[in-house]
Amino acid sequence: MSQFLVISRDDAFVDRVSEAVGGDLDHWSDPALPADPGVLFSVSRDGFRPDVVILSPDLSIADGLTIASALDAAHPEITVLLVRPVERGLPVAAMRAGIRDLVAPGIDDVEFRDLLRKAARAAADRRAAAGLQDGDGERRSTRGRVVVVLSPKGGVGKTTVATNLAVGLAATAPQSTVLVDLDLQFGDIAHTLQLAPEQTLTEAVSRAAARDTMVLKSYLSAHPSGLFALCAPHSPADEAQIRADDITHLIDQLAAQYSWVVVDTDAGLSAATLAALDRATDHVFVVGTDVPSVRGLRKEIDILRQLGLVPAHRHVIINNADTRDGLAQQDIETTLGHQADVVVPFSRSVRLSTNRGVPLLQAGTRDKAGRHLRHLVRRFEPPVPKSRPTSTARHRKGAS
């Protein structure tokens, strides 16, 4: 069961959170916040480790950001939420402190319950991705990471990023990476990888494959780089038969079998993309350097947050960066409220690689765009599990 910790001196707020989580709540009420966040957890019982920490509006911003940063450094798998009206500069400061979401104090009860549930699930995904077991930090066999590459706009480089990322991951984990083409109508991964699949996503969501993972695996196409691909349907008309539930089940099946499930999507937020995002551990946003692309992405990030689709990891890729007439990186970051994690420059080699059907990272060129795409792959190297805190002194002073 998910564990929640609220930091608040306001009993009415604590009651509200308690109601939203069905009463299963731990509470820190001491105005003095400990420097070691482990102390917060020992208020209740030894070994307690929350999935979600909720910072109440009665905390000062400085205290909230300090404790959030300490939690983020020591326990990045925990989802930290700050309940507070948005004010100038706060979203960026919150993001830097590792706060996953800013929640309006006036949020409706149903929405609040839903948001807390999704926050707990995101923490569970992060724990799984880090290979940590509930509560005690031991290794366990885990679900693979589900990396969804998306953008509100077409033609910005989603397929380029998704295929190169999958090829790069397959180089470190051969036979453990699957690339799924969720651009259901006009997906072109088959062409991009020079594959001629007999079976596609249409067959992969059939009853036989949904029931038996071995059947599903036989529908994947092997690529020389060591990755498997599940290509888009042969006919755009097939999209109408594929339901969001089918996609959810498909992603779950693949994540149970492969370390990496990389998902390419079409522009915008189709039902299939939303279903994949709901299962994602990672969102990879691709943005161009033009105003419509940047503004569109800002809206997309906002709407995903409102929907509670906040992943364990978020990556922002500026692609096709053109220093002559594109927007400056800093302006893009300010509009997005998020720093760019990778900037891939415009390069003719990328276009050539698309037309040849050989991804840049497969060709192993020394091209400048290839260097930055490799940097993206390195962001996904397995996280080193955190060691357990050496001291978890009991501290009941703050317990309510």
Ligand X SMILES: Nc1ncnc2c1ncn2[C@@H]1O[C@H](COP(=O)(O)OP(=O)(O)OP(=O)(O)O)[C@@H](O)[C@H]1O
Q: Nearest CA to 225 among 349, 320, 357, 348?
A: 357
Q: Binder to ligand X among 102, 346, 365, 389 (CB under 6 A)?
A: 346
Strand order in the sheet with 221-222: 221-222, 227-230, 177-182, 260-265, 145-150, 282-287, 313-321, 342-345
Q: Which C-beta is closer to ligand X: that of 88 or that of 348?
A: 348
Q: In what order do the strands lie in the sheet with 101-103?
A: 26-28, 4-7, 52-55, 79-83, 101-103
Cα separation, 337 vs 375, whole angstroms: 22
Binding mask 40-79 for ligand X (x = CB under 6 A): ----------------------------------------
Residue 367 within binding range of ligand X, rule CB under 6 A: no
Residue count, binding to ligand X (CB under 6 A): 19
Q: What string marks each residue from 257 to 296 as x (binds ligand X by CB under 6 A) or -?
A: ----------x-----------------------------
* Span 107-166, contacts to Mg ion by CB under 5 A: 158-159
Contact 153, 292 (CB under 8 A): yes
351 interface partner picked from ligand X, Mg ion, none, CB below 5 to 8 A per type: ligand X
Q: Is 369 in the site for ligand X (CB under 6 A)?
A: yes
Cβ-contact 372, 399 below 8 angstroms: no
Is residue 329 close enough to count as binding ligand X by CB under 6 A? no
- Residue 330 structure tokens: 């800093």
User: CB of 289: closest distance to Mg ion in angstroms?
Assistant: 18
Cα separation, 58 vs 105, whole angstroms: 11
Residues 6+ apart with CB under 8 A from 167: 223, 225, 227, 359, 361, 362
Task: Give the residue with the Cβ less far from ligand X, 154 or 236.
Answer: 154
| Shortest distance (Å) from residue 159 CB to Mg ion | 3
Q: Which position among 183, 203, 239, 246 is part of the footprint of ligand X (CB under 6 A)?
A: 183
Segment lying near ligand X (by CB under 6 A), choices 45-53, 156-164, 276-284, 391-399: 156-164
Q: Which residues bind ligand X (CB under 6 A)?
A: 151, 154-160, 183, 267, 319-320, 344, 346-347, 350-351, 354, 369
